[in-house]
Chain A
Amino acid sequence: NAGVTQTPKFQVLKTGQSMTLQCAQDMNHEYMSWYRQDPGMGLRLIHYSVGAGITDQGEVPNGYNVSRSTTEDFPLRLLSAAPSQTSVYFCASSYSGVSTDTQYFGPGTRLTVL
């Protein structure tokens, strides 16, 4: 098992550009999520999905879109990047949720928006 994979590892964007952060898992997990990590703020939930075709907002969803067309993949889209979106982004997955299941995290994507 590769676990949770994320691409790219690093990315630099200019303000207004768009991009997609990729996340994939090979553990047949129903639940997937995206977090951003900023210094002194821990991890904050952006969006999550409880299965293919089902997504919902987390704590900081503005400026981000998600979709879940397959169980394996959960891409995060930035439609018009802003400097405030400079952060480290983590994707995570678990069997069915977060309350009792162990979440497995990817290695992260470090994004800089100039």
Chain B
Amino acid sequence: AQSVTQPDIHITVSEGASLELRCNYSYGATPYLFWYVQSPGQGLQLLLKYFSGDTLVQGIKGFEAEFKRSQSSFNLRKPSVHWSDAAEYFCAVGAGDYKLSFGAGTTVTVRA
């Protein structure tokens, strides 16, 4: 069965600094990988997704993620964070067509 690990429960970053969120997955075949963001009290919004092709994926809000098969990783990055990036971030892996497995999430706090 597929699984996702997000090693960092909570990250604090200064506004304007760079951000990297880690995601490791376990899946036997080529995975479908996703990053979602959840603002307080809201549902989840898709940031970006990877199916195949270029391993560096661009998403919304200035985020990007890189798929590294050798490391089973799909880390999310942003060069310069804004206060509005404070949220919870979830990595997810799709196994087949109908099931997504989510990681436990990483909460990002942005300090002024």
A binds B: yes
Known: A40-B9, A43-B90, A43-B92. 4 other contacts (CB 8 A): A42-B4, A42-B103, A100-B51, A105-B45
| Chain A residues proximal to chain B, CB less than 8 Å | 4, 31, 35, 40-45, 48, 50, 56, 58-59, 90, 92, 96-100, 102-103, 105-108
Chain B binding surface, main DSSP class = strand
Q: How many A-B residue pairs have CB under 8 A?
A: 62
Partner of B94, one of A59, A99, A107: A99
A45 touching B104 in the complex, CB below 8 Å, given contacts A103-B46, A105-B43, A107-B42: no
Q: Is the CB of B104 within 8 A of A48?
A: no
Instruction: Count chain B residues whose beta carbon lies closer than 8 angstroms to a beta carbon of A.
Output: 24
Partner of A103, one of B41, B51, B100, B103: B100
Q: Is the CB of A102 within 8 A of B42?
A: no
Q: Is the CB of A108 within 8 A of B105?
A: no
Given the complex, which residues of A lie within 8 Å of B42, measured CB to CB? 107-108
Q: Is the CB of A102 within 8 A of B46?
A: yes
Question: Smallest Cβ distance from B52 to chain A, in angstroms?
Answer: 10
Q: Is the CB of B94 within 8 A of A98?
A: yes
Given the complex, which residues of B lie within 8 Å of A41, measured CB to CB? 104
Question: Smallest Cβ distance from B81 to chain A, in angstroms?
Answer: 22
CA A31 – CA B51 in complex, angstroms? 19
A45 touching B90 in the complex, CB below 8 Å, given contacts A99-B32, A106-B43: no
7 A-B pairs with the lowest CB-CB distances in the bound complex, closest first: A105-B43, A97-B97, A42-B102, A43-B102, A105-B44, A99-B94, A42-B104
